[in-house]
Amino acid sequence: MQYLESIAELAGVRLLNPAQRAAALRLLAELPGITVTGTVTDRAGRPGEAFSITSDFHGLPTQYTVIIDPGSGALLGYEEVLTKTAGRLNVTIPAVITNRSYLVAEYTTMPR
C-alpha cells in the first residue's frame, strides 16, 4: 500500500515522462498483493484501469487504489477506502477517506 501512496505523491509533485510512467507501472505490476480492480470511471468522469491493495497497516482495513489512463499510463486518481470498520470514526462503510484527482499535468515555460 505504501507503494501506491508513493506513486500518488510522486505524481503530485513531478510530471512523469512516458518512460518513467512505464517504469512505475512495471513496478506496480510486480508488487505482491496488487490486484487489478478493473475498468472504472474516476471522479472526474474519465475511464481508467484500477489497481488496488487492501491492508490494515495504518490501523483500519483500507483499500488503496490508483486509477491509470490505459492509453497514456498517466495517473488519473488515488483513493483510500475503509472497507470493514470505521473504528471510532462516525462514518458508514465503505467510506472514502482520501481522494486525489490528477486533472492537468503539462510542462510550461519557466517564468523569467
Question: If DSSP states are collapsed to H, E and C, what string results for the chain?
Answer: CHHHHHHHHHHHHCCCCHHHHHHHHHHHHHCCCCEEEEEEECCCCCEEEEEEEEECCCCCCEEEEEEECCCCCCEEEEEEEECCCCCCCCCCCCEEEEEEECCCCCCCCCCC
Does residue 111 sit within a domain? no
Does residue 73 sit within a domain? yes
Could you report the per-residue pLDDT of 18-43, keeping only the tens digit for each? Answer: 898 888 888 888 889 999 999 999 99
Rounded distance, CA 3 to CA 107, Å?
Answer: 25
Rounded distance, CA 96 to CA 71, Å?
Answer: 26
Does residue 109 sit within a domain? no
Residues of the chain with pLDDT under 70: 1
Does residue 66 sit within a domain? yes
Does residue 89 sit within a domain? yes
Does residue 108 sit within a domain? no
Q: Residue 24's domain spans which residues?
A: 2-101
Q: Residue 1's pLDDT is what?
A: 55
Does residue 112 sit within a domain? no
* Count of domains observed in the chain: 1
Does residue 72 sit within a domain? yes
